Amino acid sequence: MKRIIALVSAIALVILGLGTSFMTSLWASDWEDMFNEFSGANEPMSQVLEEGDAGNKIAVVNFEGVIQDTGTTGSGMFATEGYDHPMTIQALKDIAADDTYSAVLLNVNSPGGGVFESAEIHKYLMEIKESGKTIYSSMGNMAASGGYYVSAPADQIFATDETITGSIGVIMQSMNYTELAENVGISYDVYKSGEMKDMMSASREATDEEQDYLQSIVDTMFQDFIDVVADGRGMSEEQVRELADGRIYLGGEAIENGLVDQQGYLDDALNALKEEVGGTPQVVEIGGVQTTSFPFGVKIQNAIESITGGGEVKMVQELINNRQGAEPMYLYE
C-alpha cells in the first residue's frame, strides 16, 4: 500500500510540475504577439538579413510553392506553412510605397499557380518599378509557368544550370468519369438554367461549342502571358511564341534563348543587386511564409499532424490545394 501511495504521489508531483511550467511559460510569453497571432493579424513579416543603410534597403521577397490563394495559409492560431498570397501582395504594396527601399530581389522557387494571383503580383511589381526601384529575380530549383510570369518584369533574371523554367502557357483540365459511373450503375439528373451551366462537368462529354468557348478563354489568358514576357524581356510577340509551346527549359538554355539574363544562385543575384544600388544597403526579408507556434515553440501544424496522422493529412491537403479543375492556371506539374 505504501508503494502505491508513493507512486501516486510521484505522478501527482510530475503533473503539478508540468502544469506549473506551462503556466510560467504562458506568463513569460509576449502576450501582445500571442494576441496578434490569435486575432489573425495579416501584416507581412520582416527581418533584417544584413545590416546596412536603412535608407537604402533591398527587400527579398520569397515565392515558395504554388502561387495560389488557397485560404489555408496565413496568420492566425491555426496558420500553416506555405505561400501566403494576401501577405505577399501587402508586402509588395508596402515596398512600392516605402522610399527607403531601393530595390527588390525576388527569390522564386515555384511551379507557378493561379492566373489571377500571378496577374495581381505582376500588377504590384510594375508599381514597384514605376516608383523607381530596381527588381532582380533569382530562380531556384524551379521557376516555371507562373513562376516565370512573376519573374518576367525583373531588370535582371538569374538562374542556374539546374533551374527548371519556361513552361509558358495556360492550362485548364477536368475529369470525365462517365464510363466509370455507367459501370457501377450511377446516373445523373441535372437541372440547369442554361446550356453551359454545367460546363466542364465530369459526368458528361463536353460539346463542341463548350470546347471552343473554353479554348477561347485559354487563348485570351495565354495572350496576356505572351504580352507580359514580351514586355518584360524586350522581345517581339513572335519571338516569345516560338518559346511558348509549354515546354520547360534548363537555366543554361533559358539564358541562350533570352528568357534569363545571368547564371547564378541567390547570393550571386543579391551581390549583383547590391552593386547596382550602390552604398551599403540593408537587406530585409519581407513577406514570405507565415507559421504559428505554441509558447514552447512546437508548431500547431506539427501538433495537429501528430494527432491526425501527419503525412497522409498533409498529402491530401496539398492535393486539394494544388488541384487544377475549372480554374485556369499558369502551372507546371
Active site residues: 145, 197
Instruction: Quote the CA–CA distance of 160 and 138 in Å, as a whole number.
Output: 9
Helix (H, G, I), strand (E, B) or coil at 205: coil
Instruction: Quote the CA–CA distance of 73 and 83 in Å, as a whole number.
Output: 7
Instruction: Quote the CA–CA distance of 322 and 112 in Å, as a whole number.
Output: 10
Instruction: Quote the CA–CA distance of 64 and 120 in Å, as a whole number.
Output: 16
State the cell numbers at 14: 510530475
Residue 28 CB neighbours (<10 A): 9
* DSSP H or E stretch at residue 36: helix 31-39
On whether the CB atoms of residues 100 and 48 are closer than 8 A, the answer is: no
On whether the CB atoms of residues 168 and 134 are closer than 8 A, the answer is: no
β-bridge partners, 107 = 62, 138
Residue 2 CB neighbours (<10 A): 6
On whether the CB atoms of residues 92 and 61 are closer than 8 A, the answer is: yes
β-bridge partners, 333 = none
Contacts 24+ apart (CB under 8 A), 26-33: 26/295, 29/295
